[in-house]
Structure 1
Amino acid sequence: MGTEAAAVKILVIEDSESVLSMIGMFFQKEGIEGTFVADGNDGYREAMSGRYDCLIIDWMLPGMDGVTICRKVREAGIEVPIIMLTAKTSEADQVTGLETGADDYVTKPFSPAALMARIRAVTRRYGIRTADSGEEGIIRTKHFRINEKTREAFLDGEPVPNLTPKEFDLLAQFARHPRQVFTREQLIESVWGYDFYGDDRTVDVHVKRLRGKTEKDGRQFFHTVWGVGYRFEEPEDGA
């Protein structure tokens, strides 16, 4: 991950010594600062510190299982990318992990390169990159200011309240590409990722929620393009 990877701090909660050793050697090669915990309870306490840019959590752990850790982290409002490691291969199990709050999963056995690809993908979605505005992590439009590092969104200087992680990601995706028409499939791929389980109605629900949280006084930002998808376009009159 080059210079970007050197800044990434990753917590790995995994009880397999061989897996920890493999990941540890790969992190060292990539310049990633890794913290490794083998017990679920200890890992949960470390995850709650909020000091990490990414969490990698095994599904089956002594003390507290990975799904419970993931759920508790999300319930605490900690916005951090989470990758689940799992030996479970059924679609139902994978959906359970994603519904609990994980952003992605890697099925064992896996290669370091495959894990690295998932780390790059989830950290990129959480704003570890430079926005087109030239100011690191900031997206500016006429009405919106979006900070991808702190995951805060402001509308005309006022915080947009109660955005869920995916609502934030969707807003950022639209704001980065004003007036571009996205199909639902394109939005699913860019916001939810290639392993998303569900249908394109999920996009409709999230757009509806974004409209409810941002479109006041008759202003419209999210436009339906019938038969295609959606585009983000701010009113020209500044209303």
Structure 2
Amino acid sequence: MMQTQTGNISSSGSGLGIPEAAPETPDILIVDDDPGMRTLLMSTLRRNGFRARGAADSQQMEECLASGRTDLLLLDVMLPGLNGFDICRALRQADDNIPIIMISARGEEADRVAGLELGADDYIAKPFGPSEVLARIRAVLRRGVRTGEQRPFRSKLLRFAGWTVDLPRRELRAPSGAIVTISGAEFDLLVSLLDNAQRVISREALLEMSRARIAGSSDRSIDVLISRLRRKLGDDGEPPLIRTIRGVGYMFVAEVSRH
């Protein structure tokens, strides 16, 4: 259970309704088969300025996704039918880049790594407090993957080995010109590497610079993100684009130009 008092929270309905809110307010979809947890999370989010909807399973989730904009998915791992891992895998295979924060009573490192490998942007283990949920949601939304938020950048485009990173649009384009699907955490990590090209960066520094606040410095989360980036960049040449510096961290070895 989330560590907070529920107060006067209505438990009627399935939680699929949307309260009055400004159009630019981020819309969060909570997928959890526990009606108490679902209602509590929705109440917490609404009190803190978010729009919030709830779904009990993958079918209700699909109905919610089809009915309107969703800026972030809070996805429980243990669900009836398709579980959270299956849903995350299906969304990423369909090239749906919606930010996903997985929530689970199982906080083992293997589960966190599995969620990241499937394309989740973050992972929260139960029990958790409302301040942690809000902080993680805000951190993921700051990446601007779905909200279209644009922040000032020193440059608009970064280019390397035929690839292009469009910073305002937060897009990665292959040498062929095709847009490559990339999660918020992957994008932030790639930009951090490009900003420090040809310099060795520790795992801890990369976690901090990319805002991938997923686990402590002993966690394998940064290695998982690096592995996912390498696959998407087709980084199997010699020399590789991202070099592992054993016992220290990583280095992006290609030259990077700014435009």
In 1, distance between residues paired with 2:189 and 2:214? 15
Cα shift at 1:32: 0.9
Cα shift at 1:82: 0.5
Q: Which moved more, 1:82-91 or 1:225-234?
A: 225-234
**Are residues 203 and 43 of structure 1, via their aligned partners in 2, closer, same or farther at CA, if it must alter by over 3 Å?**
closer
Cα shift at 1:178: 6.5
CA contact (8 A) 1:6 1:32 kept: no
In 2, distance between residues paired with 1:139 and 1:93? 36
Name 2:134's counterpart in structure 1: 116
Matched, 1:187 2:226: no
Q: Structure 1: which amino acid aligns with 2:166?
A: I
Matched, 1:51 2:32: no
Q: Mind listing any 5+ residue stretches in structure 1 that lack a counterpart?
A: 214-220
Name 2:8's counterpart in structure 1: none
Name 2:191's counterpart in structure 1: 172
Number of residue pairs matched by the alignment: 223
Cα shift at 1:139: 3.3
Q: Which secondary structure state, in structure 1, belongs to the residue aligned with residue 172 of structure 2? A: strand
Q: Which moved more, 1:224-233 or 1:89-98?
A: 224-233
CA contact (8 A) 1:50 1:78 kept: no
Q: Structure 2: which amino acid aligns with 1:198?
A: R
Cα shift at 1:233: 5.5
Cα shift at 1:203: 7.2
Name 1:216's counterpart in structure 2: none
Q: Structure 1: which amino acid aligns with 2:191?
A: A
1:139 is aligned, of 156, 162, 165, to: 156
In 2, distance between residues paired with 1:5 and 1:87? 33
Q: Mind listing any 5+ residue stretches in structure 2 that lack a counterpart?
A: 1-21, 236-240
In 2, distance between residues paired with 1:168 and 1:87? 28
Q: Structure 2: which amino acid aligns with 1:139?
A: K
TM-score by length of 1: 0.70
Q: Which moved more, 1:183-192 or 1:24-33?
A: 183-192
Percent identity over the alignment? 29
Matched, 1:23 2:41: yes
Q: Structure 2: which amino acid aligns with 1:195?
A: A
In 2, distance between residues paired with 1:49 and 1:182? 46
Matched, 1:100 2:118: yes
**Are residues 88 and 120 of structure 1, via their aligned partners in 2, closer, same or farther at CA, if it must alter by over 3 Å?**
same
Q: Which has the higher helix share?
A: 1
Cα deviation per residue 1:53-83 (whole Å; 9 max; x = unaligned)? 1000111122322121111111111011111
Cα deviation per residue 1:115-157 (whole Å; 9 max; x = unaligned)? 01110122223445432239xxx834588561555x423589x
TM-score by length of 2: 0.65
